[in-house]
Amino acid sequence: MSPKDLPKVELHLHLEGAAPPSFIRGLAAEKKMDISGIFDEKGGYAFKDFWHFLKVYEAATSVLQTPDDYRRLTLAVLEESAASGVIYTEIFISPDFCGGRDLPAWRDHLAAIQDAAAEAERGLGIVMRGIVTPIRHFGPDKAREAAICAAETAGEFIVGLGLGGDEKICKPKDFAWSFDCAREAGLRLTCHAGEWDGPQSVREAVRDLGVERIGHGVRAIEDLALVDELAERGIVLEVCPGSNLALGLYPGWRKHPISELHRRGVKVTVSTDDPPFFHTTMVREYDRLAEAFDWDEGVFEELARTAAEAAFCDAATKANILKRLE
């Protein structure tokens, strides 16, 4: 079976980060907003490094304003994922962008996203769940407000709390209140770490926030004792190799640590992070990984099963996804 046809499970995808540039340009035109500075001559997103990427990302996101904007975006994103063979996806949604951390506005935006998810599930068979994701560089106070939005809407659709943004700003423990609030509301927990900061950042996310998954986590490879600990504790890494390469974290696919982490027994999964920004898709990730590490269908089947087992959805949904992977 070719990578395109393998059923896939994606655990790490930012809703706004998955917006195709043509979609964002179209909305900007409708709203008469000038964001032309964020595009290159070919019409793709243009950025120099991770910190510039965050600025371009926020500028693109500024055109997403109404619940209907988010409904349309969600449909576009799920169509793209389904075309790559994704059958289950957990998508990061940030109340900072989506409703401005105002609870009634958040509920309205979320209802529109859920409508789109239900439509995509009926039409394309793709199942979506949401992970509320505060933005680290917006600070702990705003993260609390986002966590309250998460806790108030926790349920079948909103299944987790994450933390994205600039890993160099604040420490995991600064967000402990938000993660405790989410845990008490029954949400499952993940946190970006070990992408722009080293192994200590991963240790602190596990120790101080009690997360069961790590977004990226790849720089754990710089500390083999930590790698062993992640493997022993079954902490799952949401690895996004194409994102890491596009942002210059590693110089080439063969230099990416995913294969070594896998070999050392860490539960790794594969995701795209912000696919149009990084010119990637799940199919491209599979193709490049197969090429770089000589991975066969069996490895990809194992990774998809690992991802399904680590999904934050309810047991019945998970059982269904696991069955579709058989």
Alpha-helix residue ranges (DSSP H) falling in 194-239: 199-209, 224-233
At its nearest, how many Å lie between ligand ADE and the CB of residue 293? Answer: 22
Give start and end residues of each alpha helix (H) in the chain: 21-30, 50-61, 67-83, 103-124, 140-152, 176-184, 199-209, 224-233, 241-246, 258-263, 282-293, 297-309, 315-325
Question: Which of 195, 212, 301, 302 is labelled catalytic?
Answer: 195
Q: Which of 96, 94, 98 is nearest to 68 (CA)?
A: 98
CA–CA separation, 12 and 144 (whole Å)? 22
Rounded-to-integer distance, Cα 223 and Cα 177, Å: 28
Which residues lie below 8 Å from residue 115, measured CB to CB, with a gap of 6+? 71
User: Cα(223)–Cα(201) distance, rounded to whole angstroms?
Assistant: 12
Residue nearest to Zn ion (CB): 273
Give least dist CB 272 to ligand ADE, A. Answer: 10
243 binds, among ligand ADE, Zn ion, none (CB under 5 to 8 A by kind): ligand ADE
Q: Cβ contacts of residue 270 below 8 Å, gap of 6+?
A: 10, 239, 240, 241, 258, 282, 285, 286, 289, 303, 307
Shortest Cβ distance from residue 165 to ligand ADE (Å)? Answer: 5
- Is 14 a binding residue for ligand ADE by CB under 6 A? The answer is yes
Residues that bind Zn ion (CB under 5 A): 273
Contact status: 256 vs ligand ADE (CB under 6 A): no
- Does 274 help bind ligand ADE (rule: CB under 6 A)? yes
Indicate the residue whose CB is closest to ligand ADE: 164
Residue from 7, 99, 134, 164 binding ligand ADE (CB under 6 A): 164
Nearer to ligand ADE, 10 or 273 (CB): 273
CB of 110 to Zn ion, least distance (A): 20
CA distance 249 to 62: 27
| 172 is a contact residue toward ligand ADE (CB under 6 A) | no
The full length of the chain comes to 326
The minimum distance between CB 216 and Zn ion, in angstroms, equals: 7
Q: Which residues, at least 6 apart from 11, have a Cβ–Cβ distance to it below 8 Å?
A: 89, 90, 190, 213, 236, 238, 269, 271, 307, 310, 311
67 binds, among ligand ADE, Zn ion, none (CB under 5 to 8 A by kind): none
Helix axes 67-83, 103-124, angle to 10 degrees: 30
Residue 112 contacts residue 68 (beta carbons within 8 Å): yes
**176-205 mask for ligand ADE (x: CB under 6 A)?**
----------------x--x----------
Does the footprint of ligand ADE cover residue 242 (CB under 6 A)? no
For ligand ADE, the closer CB: 91 or 261 = 91
The binder of 262, among Zn ion, ligand ADE, none, by C-beta within 5 to 8 A per type, is: none
> Is 326 one of the catalytic residues?
no
Closest CB 100 distance from Zn ion, rounded Å: 21
Per CB under 6 A, 94 contacts ligand ADE: no
Regarding 213 and contact with ligand ADE (CB under 6 A), the answer is no
| Choice between 192 and 267, CB closer to ligand ADE | 192
145 binds ligand ADE, rule: CB under 6 A? no
Is 18 within 8 Å of 271 (Cβ atoms)?
Answer: no
Using CB under 6 A, list all residues that contact ligand ADE: 14, 17, 164-165, 192, 195, 243, 273-274
List, by residue number, the catalytic residues. Answer: 195
